[in-house]
Structure 1
C-alpha cells in the first residue's frame, strides 16, 4: 500500500524572477501577489499543494538584490533560516542571468542544504532554445551536477516535470493540512495583500515600501455581507497626498479594484472601507 508524503519547499531567487507566479501555478490559486514592480513579495507566503497522497508546503520568499533596508535584512535572515529547515530548495533564475547575488546565495545554500535544484524560468521568451546550452553548462559546473529544470511558470510549461521530481524527493509522512486548503495565511492577511498589491500598481515605484495596510474590522453579519475596514498607513503628508490622488481618485480606484478581488476571494459581497493615515 502506498504511503502519503509531506514536506516543505522554499522558492528563492532575485526579485521579479517569477517566484510568486510559480507558487500560484503549482497550487492553482492566487495567494501570492504578482506585479511587474520590484520587491512585490515583502514577506514569506506559504501555499499548500495536495494531490492524492502528495502534500507539500510551498514557501514564496522576498527576492534577493543588491541593497537591503533594516526590515528587508530581517526577511533575508528568515530566508536563510528556512534554507536550513526545508526538504527542497527551488533556486529560480531567469534565462542568461547569473550575477554576484546568485553566486552568494548559491554558496550559502551549498553550505547549509544539499537538497536544492536550479529552475530556469521564462523559457517561453527564448525562441532558439539552443542558445541556452552554454548557460546551462555554466550553471551545471557551478552546482556540482544538481538537477536543472527549464520551465515557464507563466505559461505552465514543464511544471509536471518539477512535480514528478518533488514527488520522488519528499519524505514519507502524514499530511498536515486539509485536502482543499490552499494556504495557511489568514483571510485578513490575504485581504491586506490584495489592497497592497492594488495600491502598488496605482502609485509610483518610489513609495512601494512607504506604506503598510492593516485590517481593523473583519466580520460577517448574519451569514450575509462581510464588513471590512482597512487603513493604509503612510510616512508623511506627501505620500498621503499621492495615495489619495487628485480629489480622491487614486484611493477610490484602489477601493473599487480591491473590492472586486476581495469579493472573488471570499465568494461573498462585502461592505468595504479604506482610509489613509499618517503613522
Structure 2
C-alpha cells in the first residue's frame, strides 16, 4: 500500500534580528538565507525546501517586521507578509526572550484573525543562564496566544529544533511533494549570489552603509570544466561611499571578493571565479 505524503507552506515571521534566517538555514542544512547582527539584513523573501521521508514543506523566511519604526518600514514587504499569513499552512511567529512590544502584539493580532494554525517560537534561550527566569514571560505569552504551542529554542545552537519539525509534520495536509528530494531552495543562483555578496558587505561595513548599496549579477555561467564564472556590480550612491566600499588600496573590496567566493564555493559545490566592480549609480 502506498504511503501518504505531506506537503505545505510554512512562514516564519517576526521583528528583525530574532533569528528567522538562521532557523531556515538550520532546517534545510544549507546557508541560503543571509544572516547578520545588523537590522533588516533580509530584504527579500527566501524560500527553503525541507524534505524528510514522506514530509516536505516550503519554508519562507520573511523580512523583519518593523511596524512602527519608520526608518526601516517597507510597506510593500509588510503587505506581502500579511498576504502570506493568510495563504500559508503554518505560521512560525518568532520572538526573543523577554521582548514583547506593541509591534509583536499587532502582528499577533493579525495572525489570530487570519490563520489559526500558528506557533510561537522563543529563540536565543542559550543566552539565558537562569532558565526559570523565563517562566513569567512564557506564562504571559500563553495567555495572549490562547493555548497555542510555545517552543523554546536556540536556532544558532540547534537546540530543540526537532520539536518544531515534529509539530509541522503533524499539521501539514496530505499532498504530493512538489520538489525533488535534493532541492534546497527555489531561489535562483543569481539571487543567491547577490545575497551572499550583500551579506559579506553588510558584515564588513559600518551600520550607516548597510542600505546604501545594491548588488547586481551581470554575468553567471559554467564553463566546460563546470567552473562558475561570475561577474557582479555593486551600485553605490556617491564617491564617498564608493571609497569606503573599495577601501584603502582596494583591500576592502578584495576581502569581500575572497569571502564571497569561499561562501559561493561551499553553496554551489564547484570552483568559483568571482569578479566584483563598484560603480556609482
The TM-score by the shorter chain falls in which range?
Answer: over 0.9
Structure 1 equivalent of residue 38 of structure 2? 37
Residue of 246, 249, 255 corresponding to 1:247: 249
Cα distance in 2, alignment partners of residues 253 and 29 from structure 1: 23
Which whole-Å deviations, capped at 9, do the CAs of 1:134-170 have from their partners, x for residues lacking one?
1111001111111111111111111111111101101
Structure 1 equivalent of residue 11 of structure 2? 10
Say if 2:218 and 2:233, in contact at 8 Å, map to a contact too. Answer: yes
Classify the secondary structure of the residue corresponding to 1:271: strand
Greater displacement, 162-171 / 267-276: 267-276
Residue of 86, 95, 98 corresponding to 1:96: 98
Instruction: Within 5 Å, give how 1:162-241 maps onto structure 2.
Output: 162-241=164-243
Task: Please state how far the C-alpha of 1:67 moved relative to its aligned partner.
Answer: 2.0
Instruction: Within 5 Å, give how 1:4-83 maps onto structure 2.
Output: 4-65=5-66, 66-68=68-70, 72-83=74-85
Cα distance in 1, alignment partners of residues 201 and 32 from structure 2: 16
Which whole-Å deviations, capped at 9, do the CAs of 1:48-106 have from their partners, x for residues lacking one?
00000000000001112232468822111111110110000000010111011101101
Classify the secondary structure of the residue corresponding to 1:119: strand
Task: Please state how far the C-alpha of 1:189 moved relative to its aligned partner.
Answer: 0.8
Say if 2:31 and 2:267, in contact at 8 Å, map to a contact too. Answer: no
Residue of 121, 136, 147 corresponding to 1:145: 147
Task: Please state how far the C-alpha of 1:214 moved relative to its aligned partner.
Answer: 0.6
Cα distance in 2, alignment partners of residues 174 and 259 from structure 1: 37
Cα distance in 2, alignment partners of residues 114 and 186 from structure 1: 32
Instruction: Give the alignment's Cα RMSD to 1 decimal.
Output: 1.3
Say if 2:30 and 2:267, in contact at 8 Å, map to a contact too. Answer: no
Instruction: List structure 1 runs of 4+ shifted beyond 3 angstroms.
Output: 68-71
Which whole-Å deviations, capped at 9, do the CAs of 1:169-203 have from their partners, x for residues lacking one?
01000000010000000111111111000011111
Instruction: Give me the TM-score of the superposition, normalised by structure 1.
Output: 0.97
Structure 2: which 5+ runs fail to align? none
Instruction: Give me the TM-score of the superposition, normalised by structure 2.
Output: 0.96
> How many equivalent residue pairs?
279
Structure 1: which 5+ runs fail to align? none
